Amino acid sequence: MKKFILAFIAIVLVSSVSFGQKSSQPTKEQIENGLAEEMEEFIKNLGVFYRNGQSFEQFKAELYKNKNVPSAIPKQGEELLKKAYSYLKKGGATKQQIKKDGIKEMMEAISFIKNSGNEFSLYGVSAASSLSDNGLTSKSPCKWWQLNCWFNEILGFDIWDIWCTLPFVNC
């Protein structure tokens, strides 16, 4: 009986250790693919606000309720919106194009969000209610501006869970 109890305890300990382990961290390539997919989805979502021939300023105004664009938008938010606008103006972008020329803005935007503590401040507002969601028909639970939500939808985990383990992030 004593051997049975010891064996049972050993099995329970081994099981709890293996269940408590986290899955392996994603590779740099998986993260880059995820960021490219996220940027692709971001561009697609912003497409409902874009009208052919409109200027960047006109496009940006569509993203805010009552077209009330803040006077100061953080550089990271402005650059992310400019990158998305440039792709929309060209008719869209493939994941491969974005991997070559779009991940930097997404990483800088996500880094800004990490440091500021919320996603809407990336766009220069103090409340999410200032951002427009008119015309969005996405079946996702994410709004166009919720970058971490999109990352989670695409890769299946929260970016903050792995942030400091990323090879191109200094914590």
* pTM confidence score: 0.78
**Tens of pLDDT, residues 110-162:** 889 888 888 899 999 998 889 987 656 556 678 888 888 888 888 777 777 76
pLDDT at 142: 84
**Tens of pLDDT, residues 34-43:** 888 889 989 9
In a domain, 13, yes or no: no
pLDDT at 2: 42
31-36 LR contacts (CB < 8 Å, sep 24+): 31/162, 31/166, 32/99, 32/103, 33/95, 33/99, 34/151, 34/154, 34/155, 35/103, 35/106, 35/107, 35/151, 36/95, 36/96, 36/98, 36/99, 36/102, 36/103
Domain that residue 52 falls in: 28-165
Domains identified in the chain, total number: 1
In a domain, 3, yes or no: no
In a domain, 59, yes or no: yes
